[in-house]
Amino acid sequence: MTDIKLLEHLESFLTESRKEKFLNVLSQRTKHFTVATEDVYQLHNTSAVIRSCDVFGIQEVSIVEERNSKRIDREIAMGAQKWVDLNRFHSVGDCILDLKSKGYQIIATTPHVGDCLLHEFDITKKSCFFFGRETEGLSPEVLQAADGFLKIPMVGFTESLNISVSAAIILQHVTTRLKQSDIQWQLSKEEQLEKRLDWVQKTLKSSEDIVRRFYEEGKNH
């Protein structure tokens, strides 16, 4: 459980506009949908996907780094990795198990026999949208584990989009529909409190010292 008194104490160091921004952003956050990237080679693509998740209110991103282990490009993500929860995995199998344990269906974003067009996608189920490598696409392991296949309708000569562009289009579409629905998509009250505490600690440069003093003073009273 989140220590409410500590949260209030830390938030007293923020401006009113900053506190209001946190509350407004949190009210639009969701874990109903999530995103996973599999061994994306180009670093800026992973970073841009994280940025899109932040923009469209996706709170969690899973990153599989089986072949390509890398740092998140801060310049491209523009600080988005501070606000989005990154779950990193060294195997796609572990990632899929984790997502399934949280109740997500695995949606492979790839043209496939029996696939679903974006506007036909059923938004009622908790879903993870899986994006694969730039040239090879998703691995056979993801395709075999997938509960469904999704593609963006295209009518030009080009048959594929950059992964970060695909992610942005899909997330914008499904989150817009989600927020127009009756589905309970918001974070729980406890999840929102946890994120407020996390975000304020990441915002305050001396947060560790403030937290330590808060608990030391509490022991002395």
Domain spans in the chain, listed from the N-terminal domain onward: 1-27+190-221, 29-185
C-alpha to C-alpha distance for 147 and 96, rounded to whole angstroms: 11
Sheet containing strand 105-109, edge to edge, reads: 85-89, 60-64, 33-38, 127-131, 105-109, 148-151, 116-117
pLDDT value of position 155: 84
Contact 60/85 with Cβ under 8 angstroms? yes
C-alpha to C-alpha distance for 139 and 50, rounded to whole angstroms: 21
Topology of domain 29-185 in CATH is Alpha/beta knot (3.40.1280)
Convert the pLDDT of each residue in 99-149 to its tens digit: 999 999 999 998 776 788 999 999 999 999 999 876 778 999 999 999 999
pLDDT value of position 79: 75
Convert the pLDDT of each residue in 69-84 to its tens digit: 556 655 555 677 889 9
User: pTM, whole model, 2 decimals?
Assistant: 0.91
